[in-house]
Amino acid sequence: MNVNDKRCFFPGERMETHSQILDRLRSAFRSGITVPEVFRQAQLKQLMSLMTENEDQILDALKKDLSKPKFESIIAEVDMVINELHFTIANLNSWMQPEYVSKNLATKLDDCFVRREPLGVVLIIGPWNYPLQLLLSPLIAAIGAGNCAILKPSEVSAATDALVAELIPKYMSQDCYAVVRGAAEETKALLKNRFDHIFYTGSQAVARHILHAAADHLTPVTLELGGKCPCLIYGKVNITYAARRLAWSKFFNTGQSCVAPDFLVCSKATRDALLPALRQTLEDFYSKEPESSADLPRIVSPRHWTRLMELLKRSKGKVVMGGESNEENKYIAPTVLVDVAEDDALMEEEIFGPFLPILTAETLEEAIALINRQEKPLALYVFSEESSVVNTVLEKSSSGGFCSNDGIIHMALPTLPFGGVGASGFGSYHGRWGFETLSHQRAVMLRGWTLERLNGLRYPPYTEDKLSWLRWTTSAKPSCSLM
């Protein structure tokens, strides 16, 4: 029993401490109820009903939190969760099957396979930028893998936080899945408890605290962090199309995406050709008055708005597009800056807002050297019609994911692993990757009672003869034709 439970209770919430919730979920897990496929599928279908029956409420909450336009809410939140559900429901049975492995001579007559087993109680901590999708996609993986889960939505996206807390207990098994609300203090207290896996999406600073807390209990962790995702434009390229895709990925959710292209690197000539194309694109997308466009979201909170405006003030770059803002409705115009140096304020941390700094490097090699001086990002983008340019960047850089000639869209494929490397995190999910991350791969070997004479080779007293035989039977024979 954790006496350090710090809880503040929200209206309608069950009056339980963190430890009590954990105990309840753990007993449910121990009873084995989450293991059969039937249960997992039923819960996934319940989650599907949650999504389809409450679309209006979801869109409302996202509008309240981020002024998210309906299109973005549908594409990047609702549909992504529904797609993930479809994919998991359709494939769960095959993922759950035991995986028979190749054997050596000593184990030829044995049953050797890998069982995917649930871990136990998984803690899922969500962020505020895609508050539904980045909380529920890991939940889908957790349910599919047969775990119980505690969801901790971000308090910054308050409307979604409240909605999740209301809907999850209504649709999902209350014994197996719980929602815990609260801010930093409550999360710290929650982390003192022991979990079987912690799945965190958010910032590096908080990730360190989480890892420290997890180390105390030897709890495995998945960290989906961010970073400055660079975008390079080199070689022959259709500048209009590149400008469109770049602008779309950058200003989607007004730049508040972990995989948004953070900054651009190109030659001076490319920059000069790009700027008019970008200007035209922004006008096409958001009209001459972006503040009045229904398709541009807002910054999530006054605190983040202030952070961004401070960054802009400290930057030594020149604003060539946008720059307008309105504190009252947390609006910042899509802004492009040039003459940004590598040590500029905008290059200190992940921007997570609608500022696109353009840095110049005359050659591809210089650009690659520049991005390699930064930490490994969550995503890396290259716009070029020359495959040699794309391949060079691929080979000489590292990043969580990679996409050429577009942005963000690689996230929507459930067959690609979504995760970071280095400072952008570790572990991955989406589709089967999430199932594997939240499962334990248990090696199983079923031997018989016969062939004890063969076993005799390994027993003392040892002899040279026994050794040679053993060497032969345990070596891997990848192309053994006899057996």
Partner 1 sequence: MERQAVQRAREAFLSGRARAVEFRLQQLHGVKRMITENETEISTALKQDINRSQYDTPLLELIGIETEIKLAIGKLAEWAAPRSVERNLLTISDEVYVQPEPLGVVLIIGAWNYPWALTLLPLVGAIAAGNAAVVKPSELSECSSLLLRALLPRYLDKDLYPVITGGVSETQELLRLRFDHVFFTGSGSVGKIVMEAAARHLTPVTLELGGKSPCYIDKNCDIRVACRRITWGKFVNCGQTCIAPDFILCEPCIQGRVVECLRLTLLEFYGADPKCSPDYGRIINTHHFNRVMGLMEGYTPVIGGQSDASQRYIAPTVLKDVPPHSRLMQEEIFGPLLPIVAVSDMEDAIRFINEREKPLALYIFCSDKKAAKKMIEETSSGGVVVNDVMMHYTLSSLPFGGVGQSGMGRYHGKHTFDQLSHQRGCLIRSLGMENVNLSRYPPQDRRRARRVRMALRAPLIDMSKRTFIWAVTATVIGFGLFVALMVILLIAAGLNCTCWYWRGFYNYW
Residues recognised as catalytic: 224, 258
Quick one: which of 1, 3, 38, 446 contacts partner 1 (CB under 8 A)?
446
| CA atoms of 455 and 468, how far apart (whole Å) | 14
* Structure-token match 């001459």, residue found: 288
Q: Is 197 within 8 Å of 220 (Cβ atoms)?
A: yes
Distance of CA 285 to the CA centre of its chain: 28
Choose between 16 and 386: whose C-beta lies nearer to partner 1. Answer: 386
Which tokens go with 33? 């109820």
Helices and strands counted in the chain (H then E) = 17, 18
Which tokens go with 426? 């570790």
Closest distance to partner 1 from the beta carbon of 460 (Å): 4
Closest distance to partner 1 from the beta carbon of 90 (Å): 5
Which tokens go with 242? 């590149």
Region 219-278 residues binding partner 1, contact defined as CB under 8 A: 220, 223, 225, 237-238, 241-242, 244-245, 248
Quick one: which of 75, 109, 269, 480 contacts partner 1 (CB under 8 A)?
75
Q: Verify binding: residue 103, partner 1, rule CB under 8 A.
A: yes
Quick one: which of 48, 319, 320, 470 contacts partner 1 (CB under 8 A)?
470
Q: Verify binding: residue 26, partner 1, rule CB under 8 A.
A: no
Q: Binding string to partner 1 for residues 310 to 339, with x set by CB under 8 A, is what?
A: ------------------------------
Choose between 84 and 350: whose C-beta lies nearer to partner 1. Answer: 84
**Residues 275, 399, 217, 177: is their CA dihedral positive or negative?**
positive
Ordered strands of the 221-224 beta sheet: 177-179, 148-152, 121-125, 197-201, 221-224, 425-426
End-to-end Cα separation, the chain, in angstroms: 56
Closest distance to partner 1 from the beta carbon of 304 (Å): 22
Size of the site for partner 1 (CB under 8 A): 114
Quick one: which of 86, 170, 314, 318 contacts partner 1 (CB under 8 A)?
86
- Stretch near partner 1 under the rule CB under 8 A, chosen from 11-19, 321-329, 356-364, 454-462: 454-462
Region 404-433 residues binding partner 1, contact defined as CB under 8 A: 404-406, 409-410, 412-419, 421-423, 425-428, 433
Q: What is the length of the chain?
A: 483
| CA atoms of 347 and 357, how far apart (whole Å) | 9
Region 195-224 residues binding partner 1, contact defined as CB under 8 A: 196, 204, 207-208, 211-212, 214-216, 218, 220, 223
| CA atoms of 259 and 430, how far apart (whole Å) | 15
Q: Verify binding: residue 164, partner 1, rule CB under 8 A.
A: no
| CA atoms of 62 and 58, how far apart (whole Å) | 6
Q: Verify binding: residue 394, partner 1, rule CB under 8 A.
A: yes
Closest distance to partner 1 from the beta carbon of 469 (Å): 11
Q: Verify binding: residue 79, partner 1, rule CB under 8 A.
A: yes
Which tokens go with 202? 């958010």
